Every structure is written in C-alpha cells, then in structure tokens.
Amino acid sequence: MNIGIMGTGNIAEYLLKSINKEKQVTGIVTAVFGRNQAAGKGLAETYQTRFYRDFNSFIKSDIDIVVEAAAVEVAAAYSVPVLENGKDLIVSSVGAFADGGFLENVRETAKDHGRTVHLPSGAVGGLDLLKSANALGGLEKVMITTRKSPASLGLEGISEEKRLFDGPAGEAIREFPKNVNVALALSLAGIGTEKTRVRVIADPSVERNTHTIEAEGSFGNIKTTIENLPMPGNPKTSYLAALSVLAALKNQGNPVVIG
C-alpha cells in the first residue's frame, strides 16, 4: 500500500516516522503534499519520500490512499479531487464536514468512484457506541465538554477557569476550527450538529486535554471522560488524534473489523 499525506506538520511527521522508519503499517509513505517547502523537503529527506507542492503531481503519483493531516481548509479543498482521482481517503480534520452540503458531495463522489472515506475517531472514543445507540433513532441527547489549557487554545493571560463556548456543535466548529474536531465527529456519529451540545472551557490548571461525553436515550445513559496528552511540540493537537489515523491505516484491508 502506497500512502500519500497532505500536510507537513506534527501529525504528518508522526505518521512518516511510524510508517517509513518504524514499519508500524503494511505500506509506505511515497508522497507528501504541502505548501511549506522547507518543512516538506526536510520530511522527504529524513523519511525517504517525495515532496510535492503541486497537487496534480502528488495525486497522479503511485499512491493508493491519501491521508489528510493538515487543516480543515485542506480537507475542504482536496477531498473531492482525491476521490475523483480514484484514491481512498482518511480525513483527520473532520471539521470540514460541518457543511452538510460538502459532506453529501464527498459521499456521492466516493460512491460514484467506488472509493472509501474514513473519518478517524480522533481525540475521543465512543463513536461506535453512539452509532449503536442511534441505530433505531433512540439517541436523544449528546453533550461534550472540552477542557483545555489556554495555551492549547491559543490564548494568553487567563489565570482562572473560563467558559469560552456553550452551544451547538456546528457553531463550535466555526468558532474553534482547529480545536473541536471531536465535536463534529460525535455529531456525525450521533444526532447531528444542531442537536449535539458543546462546551469549551479554558482551564490553566489542566495538564491534559479533557473531553467528557454524555449521552442519553432509549438505550440508557453514557458518561465517559478522556484525558489526552498533547502531541510533543504541539499543545493544540492531542496525541490520540495522531494514533487514530495510524490505527485507520493499520485497519486498511483487515478482513476482521471490530466495533
């Protein structure tokens, strides 16, 4: 399996190290696409791959699957062209799908071209549980409370806990596009962006990004808390988000699917 990565940041480098150096996946990263030429060339040299600044050259190379590991804007701009070129796709910036029309366009394009789009669980778990709970429409309430340090939210000068947002997931994604991808993932697995409630709290006392998920319905109740360590060198990204992409790659072609 030849893998292409869109992005040259922390998650991209983590995947390159895990795949090309540590051989954690049955496959190899043969191409990296991005706008940062210095970073891209550095990754290509370190991990023996090819760097492209031109998308057409990247997508026409000998890749079988593309991993978006960049930003919401990149996912929005290139998801459809990736599928139109006959490549499967893993999207880490699921916030791009806050636009229902875009989600439907991606869905139809994947169907028309016989491709698969995988949205990893990212920094949270329990997506399979929510899907099961809502299999017959019995999911009534979903709320996620995200608690992060001010630094991880790009804020300074906050010395005590402060609630930054309390509202629907769709609005949260627009307000915090780089920080609450988890909210949209929960919405897609559950009851949608308007019914899923999100709280975002800046808390200088926390050392880990914390997500508390609560759900109610005909199945019963759920309450689970995930405490994530950040990616080394990037406090805005949870380490688990990178691990979930790696897990998605390891599952490619797996004859037994759990969950």
Known binding-site positions for NAD(+): 123, 181
Closest CA to 69 of 86, 93, 41, 50: 93
- The annotated binding site is made up of 123, 181
Q: Could you tell me the maximum CA-CA distance found in the chain, to the nearest angstrom?
A: 54
Among residues 87, 147, 197, 211, the one annotated as catalytic is 211
User: E strand or H helix at 49, and its extent?
Assistant: none
CA torsion 164→207→177→124, rounded to 10°? -110
- Residue 113 annotated in active site: no
Q: Tell me the H-state helices in 93-231.
A: 100-112, 127-133, 169-175, 181-189
User: E strand or H helix at 56, and its extent?
Assistant: helix 55-59
Which residue numbers are catalytic?
211
